[in-house]
Structure formats: structure tokens, C-alpha cells
Structure 1
């Protein structure tokens, strides 16, 4: 049995047929779809029908339209009891797979056993026009229905438009594709390509100062009071006030992550600990964020007194709110001078502040062409055979993009192109490939999870401007058995920068907004707020159509990816040793000079020493010239390809099975601990030591 071939984890330059074959390293193309291979489709848009004949036996008309091209068949929804239905549905058939001379469009009556024939239309493929954007859409027209013998029925018409186009057509994302013919009708929406926008995130700061004239049930007892703050699904609490009186003091900050639009109110409850794990609410106040002050400078926020309301529940079950004289002194503000981190700090795609007035101008445009993938591994089993239903997700800044799902294919072709505005050159583009597990009637939000096939990061500062990169990136996964290649993804990228002055000026600015330096947050505080931001984005993006599921968002945001492992520790140690290797080599060179092992080098060193001794004014020019020449020499050796996952640098190929198993087990344990912490935090069971995230 021949030995298995070692997988190739290297980066490969490709030459796809993009831009009409005019793409090279220095090419500058202008087409909006010049980074992907042009794919031709036959589009059929079924608009509506009129004057359809009724079923004489049932006196009803439940029509639907069937489009048949060779072995491919697509149908619209049937309209119950509507002789003049409207569908407005678009179908897309890949041109290269059309092996017939005509397109058969049939209108049928919905029946329980066999659908009844109403009328048909046959259009020759050679008569179908071609539309090239930005031409306006073709106008639909009425077609008279014919019977099975091709004779005009005299009644019934169908409005439709049919044309040849490419993926640049505006109806392409929402069209029904023949590639997903095996997908159940309700799940077709989950196969379409979409663009998502993250909501704008704010830091909500609640500074609880003191309370006044609290009304306690027991006048002879010193109350032990704390404040519980609830915003959305997040519950935080302050420490118990050290002033055990009816006028407690805290002077403590609680911070939340709020997303626009501000639908949820902020609810603050003053709670008295009675002992024996019993507590009693002394009052609460509800604050809507539309009334909260938004600040973008480190200016003080005016403190205000807020009235507390006592909530009473009568025996009948009716809830009443009784106002009384107790008050709570607080400062509440939406801090827009910070950047709300939802990604890891060292590989974030955006560093802008929340407040738009603090945004810097754009420095360029990033264009990404997702061409396809090859050699994907099977991810699940369906009908007795292994298969993969892959789709690609890319994120940069607040914009997420999702390609359509390639059903049952290990070498999917997407050929979709997207663009982003770039504000900082040291940001990172994140790309991930996932297996769609919701194509056959599974629950969109529940049920199985979409498995991660692989992901990669591309740092914009490593890309040359105005150059087209066409590469095949390996997809690498770390498993208990070792490092495994999950396939390859073919991408085309271009970072266009119209002004080099603005690009160089971006490197002179600070990485974070000013508030991060004047009023810094602790590492624990940033990590806790990042978890909140991740949960907010998971909640918002899962409510879109089709939903961007929680496991996909967490994978793209690298939630829980900051765990420590022995492999990472060894890799970081090797990098640290490589950084100090310069001094080690300098000492070895000095030792060789000292021991006179190389006479020629010793003579040159002595001559240099004598020149510096008798001509000290040449020392600085000589050092500058030396540094300049070294820079020119090293510039020739600069990397020409974008960086990718290096299994040797990360020690993924040399780590033993025990260390890999420990790392993966540690990761799953960390995820469970984080889920438990979130569960405790959201169920209001956080202890005093975890009470405030902004101490």
C-alpha cells in the first residue's frame, strides 16, 4: 500500500480567468466584477397571470408556474383561489448546464394527486436576449397560454421576462438557483447571498453615587443595600454599600454595551439583603436611553437625582407602582469616544470611535473576489454518502457578507465580489467557510450547528496598493490527531489607495481613539465588555433573514480564542528568542574578533576603529549610510505574497498528540466556563467579587 501523500500547506498563486484575461500583478481594472470569473445565467422572472380558467368541478383556481429546462425544474408557490395571481419570482439557471433548445413554462392547477394542466409557453433558447448591466432591466410582457398541442387557448395570459445575464445582475442574490433544486422550499432562503451590517455599539456607563431616604421594612435594622442594573439580557450589580444606613454610598461604575436602536430600557433596582439568602426590592427606576446624554469627549457628566418607584403586587395579581420620596443619585452617559471591541484587539478590522464626528476620512477601498474552493473535506452524511454544503462569510468593519450556499459540492464556485471602505491600514480582513446544516427543513435558529471548515485572516498592511492578488489559501484545522488540511479557497484581492499621503498619515495617528488613552479601561473590563458585544451581535444578526447564526458570528469574532496553551507558549518563546538572536549573533561575532579567528575581518575592524578615532565627525554619517544600505539590501528580500497560516511558526506540525488533546480540551472547557459565567451573569447570580466590571 503506497504511503499517503503529505498535504501541501503552502500558499499558491493562481491565474483565474478574471477581468477578461487581463489580470496581472500590476493590472488596474475598472469593472465592478473584475475580480471574479464571469458566470452566465438564464434568468426567468415570472411576474403575474390574468384571466386564468377556473376548475369547473371545484369552481376554484389554485395556480402555480413550473419552469423546465432540460433536467432542471423550478416552481413558484401556488396561489389559492386566485385567477389573477402575482408571484414576482426570479429563477436562475446556469448557462453552461443548459442542454435543451427551448424553455418550457407551464401554468398548472394545484391538485392533491396530479397537478392539472392549465396552459403552457415554449420559448426558443436562441431567441432569448442578453442583458449587460448597467442597462436597465428588460420590461416584462404578456404571453398567451397555449394548450398541449401548441394552439392558442384564447384565454389566460402570463406576464414574464427572460434573459441571459451574469452574477452582476441585480436580481442574482434573491433568485432561485437551479443548483439548490434539492433544497426544501422553506430553506431556500438560507442558501442566498446577503450583506449584513452590524449595529452601532456604544458603551453605556452608569456611575452610581448614593441613595437617599430609603424606605426599609424594618426601621430598627441597618440595611445592607446594593444596586442591580438590568439592560436587555445583561444583569450587573454593585457591591453592598459600606454605609449601612438609609443613605448608602457606592460611587461605583457599571458598564454595558448598547446597540442602536436603543429599544431596551435601563432598569435600576435597589435591593436590601435580609439574610438567609433573602432579598427585598426597595424601589426601582426605568431609564430610556433616548434621554441619556451622549458624550464623545472626556468631559464630566452632570449627576442627577432619579426617583425610585415601589412595585406592589395586590392579592388579585394586579401590579401597581407606588411613587415615594426615595432617590438615587447617578451619572449616566453613552460614551462614544471609545471603540467598542467585538473582535480581538490584535486582529481587529476596525478601530474607529463610536461617535461619527471622530471618524477619520477613508484612505482607500478593499475589494474581495470570492472565486471558489477546492478539495473540501466531507462534513456530514446525507442519504448514505458524504457531502458538504459550503458557504463563505467575510467580515471587515461593520460589514458582513455571505455567499450563496453551494449544495453538495467539494469544489464550490461562488464568483461573488464585495467592497469595503478602509479607514486604517493595520486592520484585518476575516474570511471563514462553513457547512450549511439547514437546507432540509431544520429549524433556522435551533437544531444542528453550522460546522466551521476553516478560516483565515489577511492584514491590509501586508498588501501592496493597487495590485491584484490571486491566491489559493490553505484551510487548516487543529485536531487531536494533528494538523489537518480542510481544503483550499481561491481569492482575488485588491487594496486601492488613491492618495499615498493619506495612507502615510494614517501611520502617524494613534491606534485607538483618544479616550482609550486619557481614560483607559482594564484588561478584565475590556474582555467582559467584548463578551457583551459578541452576545449583542449574535442576537441582532440571528434576527436577520436569512439569519447569520450564533456559531458563525462567534467563530468570525474569534470568541474565546485568547486561551493559553503549551503550544502557543512554546511558539511565542521561539519568537522571543528569535528577536534577541541579533544580540547573540553580535556577541559571537565580537568573540571571533577578540580571538583573532578571521584576520581579514580583524584588519577591517582595526581600520574602522582608527578612522573613527582620528575622524569622529564621520561616525554619524557612516552609521546612517550603513543603515540605509542595509535597508536597501533587505528591501530586496521583502515578502511578495500575503501572509498565511504557517504551521511551522505556530508549531502545529511538531506538537505531540497529548499537547493537542490538552489544548482542545482546554478550549472546550473554557467555552463551557464562559457560557456558565454568562448564564450566572444573566440570571442575576453574580457574587460581590464579580459585581462591578468598572471598579
Structure 2
């Protein structure tokens, strides 16, 4: 990272509101910290972030010098199996105005333990935020302002620590600029959505092939299944849940063996055009064009940043739906397939008309019988992992 080819590297780990910093190892390209930390996990559906930096203040550099980024790793705890030790090399990727740079690999040993399985499984049905966030939600226009103020408070507090964590470190660890306009990130979110829609397109093509008798055997089987479900409608829901159960067990063989890491290809960082990177790393307000163009440019970036966030949220919801049976979160998938087989048995022994009446009455219940808190299925769905943790934000 420096002119001599050596680095004065240190690591910063963040989990929740807890920050730790390792010692700085001087003049080496293969630092080994061998430091161990333990955090009490307040929620399995949270993320731990580890960043590596090059210290530019140990050799009497200028006071305004900035510690250089070497790379960052994010790991969602719910994707880790319980009591298994993961020893994996994570690539350290940094996006710069000149392009994507790989500064090495970080070797981490991770272990997620649990002493109360019942409490952990109950967490999947609890709301993500405190009750007041749902009873009196914060207006969207105030959320970014509050996040900025929270970042300022954290940066001031950590700058007084010993050794201090400087502002650029806090900004990098918190991804404070994730909402800013970036053509590269917009492309990444677009490709995430197209990847989700490709499955729907595949089903439509398959159904069209069935209708066109491209495969007579498949078409005959679909006709037989359709007639059976028409004659015996009580088998529809049990068959669906039993099918989910079988698919979940089948996908168990293909579950991820290692925690996911930054995906440069999915982030559209490998083939980013230099002009796109120049726009992404441009200051805000913009400094390139004249005053009138700068005003229009800044307005476009602000609006496009919101559109980008909405597209990313849509992609996140779809990816959570695909993660239900993919064993990315082994506990969530186990919960679902167990519930699926139980519902399959329950719906098999219960008359379909009774189930339909109960479901209809529940959906049409009076507002006084509705809670302002989200339901358990909604809480469960929001806790499922998405690929947003694998995106290279910067």
C-alpha cells in the first residue's frame, strides 16, 4: 500500500454497537494478529464486519493523512451452522477510481455457539426493531438524517479511544455512502432482479412447453396431476407443503459449505467503466461540471439514489424468498420444512372447507382484532438472509 511495498496493517471488527481494534503490525505484507474476540449474540440474524486498514500515522506522517483501506469482510451469523468452526480465506477487495483492486486475503476462524436453542428459534418470529418503530414509525425523509447524525456521534466517540479510530474508518465500516447514486450499484441491483425473474421466466417457458406438447410424457403427467387435484381439492395444500419439504431436503446437499463473501462479479465491479467510477468517486456536490450542470447533476444523483435503494429492497425481498429452502440459514430452513410437513399432515386430516373458512375469516377479521405489530410469518421472512450482505458497496 505504501511506497516501500510494505504495510502497517491493523484490523477493526464491528458487531452491533461494539467495536474492537487489533494491534498494528509494522512493515509486513503477511501480518498475523492471532487475536481472539467473543461477542454475545443478541440476534442470530445480524452481521459482523471486519475491516483491514493500513496505518499511515505510525511513522510521523502528516496529521491529515488518511488510513488506507485494504479490504472488508461481512458475515451474516445466521448463515453459520451452530458449533462449527469455519476457517476460510476471504478476499480483500477495494474499489478505487482506477478500478477494482484485490489487496490480499484475510484468514478468519469463526464459530457460532448457542446455549438456548428454544430462545434462538423464537427469535425468528420476533420483530426486528423495538415496538415503537412500528407503532410510531420514523418518516422516510428523516431516516438518512438520523443515520448521518448517528455516524457523527459514533465517529466522535471512537476518535477519543486509544488507539483512536478515525472518521474515514467509521465511514467505511458503516457504508455511509451506500444510498448515493452509483451507476455500477444500480446495474448490480438490476442484475439481481433479473436473476430473480429468470426463475419465473423458466416456469413460464416450462408451462408453455407443456401446453405445446413438446414432451408428451411430461404433458400427460401434468394432465393426470391436474385431474387428481380437481377431483380431490383437499390434496392441493398438502401436496404444496409436502413439495416444499422435499425440495428443502433435496437442497440440503447443495447448501453452502463456507460463509458467503464479497462478490465482485455480482457487484459489477470487475467491468466498471472508468467514467462510471469517476462519477461514483466524485465529490458531493459534484466538482466536475459548471454551476448549472452541477445543480442538475446533484439532483439527478439524489433521485437516482432513492430509486437505487428501492430496487435493492425489491431484490432483497425476492432473494429472501429464494433463501427459504436453500439452507443459507440452516435454522430457518429447518423451521420451515418442519412446519411444512406438520401443515401437510394437518391439512390432510382437516376438511378443506374448514381450512378455507378459517383462512378467509382470519384475513377478513375486524381491525380491532389486528395488532399493529407485524405477524410471525412476516418477521420470519424479514429475518431470512439476502445477497445484500455479499455486495461490494465500496
CA RMSD of aligned residues (A): 1.8
Q: Point out 4+ residue stretches in structure 1 off by more than 6 angstroms.
A: none
Q: Which residue of 2 aligns with 1:541?
A: 158
Q: Distance in 1 between matches of 2:243 and 2:155?
A: 54
Note the C-alpha offset of 1:470: 0.4
Does the CA-based 8 Å contact 2:159-2:167 persist in structure 1?
A: yes
Q: Which residue of 1 aligns with 2:254?
A: 637
Note the C-alpha offset of 1:594: 1.3
Q: Which residue of 1 aligns with 2:20?
A: 401
TM-score normalised by the chain length of structure 1: 0.40
Aligned with 1:669 (options 284, 293, 307):
284
What are the residue-to-residue correspondences of 1:464-503 with 2, within 5 Å? 464-503=81-120
Does the CA-based 8 Å contact 2:90-2:261 persist in structure 1?
A: yes
Aligned with 2:191 (options 565, 574, 594):
574
Over residues 507-561 of structure 1, what are the superposed CA-to-partner deviations in whole Å (9 max), with x where a residue is unaligned? 1110111111111112221211221121122222212222222222222222223
Note the C-alpha offset of 1:671: 9.5
State the structure with bigger RCO (CA 8 A, min sep 6), 1 or 2: 2
Q: Distance in 1 between matches of 2:190 and 2:213?
A: 34
Over residues 203-238 of structure 1, what are the superposed CA-to-partner deviations in whole Å (9 max), with x where a residue is unaligned? xxxxxxxxxxxxxxxxxxxxxxxxxxxxxxxxxxxx
The structure whose residues are more often strand, as a share, is 1
Cα distance 1:613–1:450, how it changes in 2: closer, same or farther (>3 A)? closer
Q: Distance in 2 between matches of 1:560 and 1:538?
A: 15
Does the CA-based 8 Å contact 2:50-2:74 persist in structure 1?
A: yes
Q: Which residue of 1 aligns with 2:290?
A: none
Count, aligned residues: 287
Q: Which residue of 2 aligns with 1:439?
A: 58
Does the CA-based 8 Å contact 2:69-2:94 persist in structure 1?
A: no
Note the C-alpha offset of 1:618: 2.8
Residue 5 of structure 2 aligns to a residue whose secondary structure is: strand
Residue 73 of structure 2 aligns to a residue whose secondary structure is: strand
Residue 425 of structure 1 aligns to a residue whose secondary structure is: coil
Does the CA-based 8 Å contact 1:560-1:670 persist in structure 2?
A: no
Does the CA-based 8 Å contact 2:48-2:74 persist in structure 1?
A: yes
TM-score normalised by the chain length of structure 2: 0.69
Q: Distance in 2 between matches of 1:623 and 1:386?
A: 59
Cα distance 1:415–1:488, how it changes in 2: closer, same or farther (>3 A)? same
Note the C-alpha offset of 1:473: 0.5
Larger Rg belongs to: 1
Q: Which residue of 1 aligns with 2:5?
A: 386
Q: Which residue of 2 aligns with 1:508?
A: 125
Does the CA-based 8 Å contact 2:91-2:104 persist in structure 1?
A: yes
Does the CA-based 8 Å contact 1:391-1:434 persist in structure 2?
A: yes
* Unpaired stretches in structure 1, ≥5 consecutive residues: 1-378, 673-695
Note the C-alpha offset of 1:427: 1.0
Q: Distance in 1 between matches of 2:87 and 2:246?
A: 32
The structure whose residues are more often helix, as a share, is 2
Note the C-alpha offset of 1:462: 1.0
Residue 111 of structure 2 aligns to a residue whose secondary structure is: strand
Residue 284 of structure 2 aligns to a residue whose secondary structure is: helix
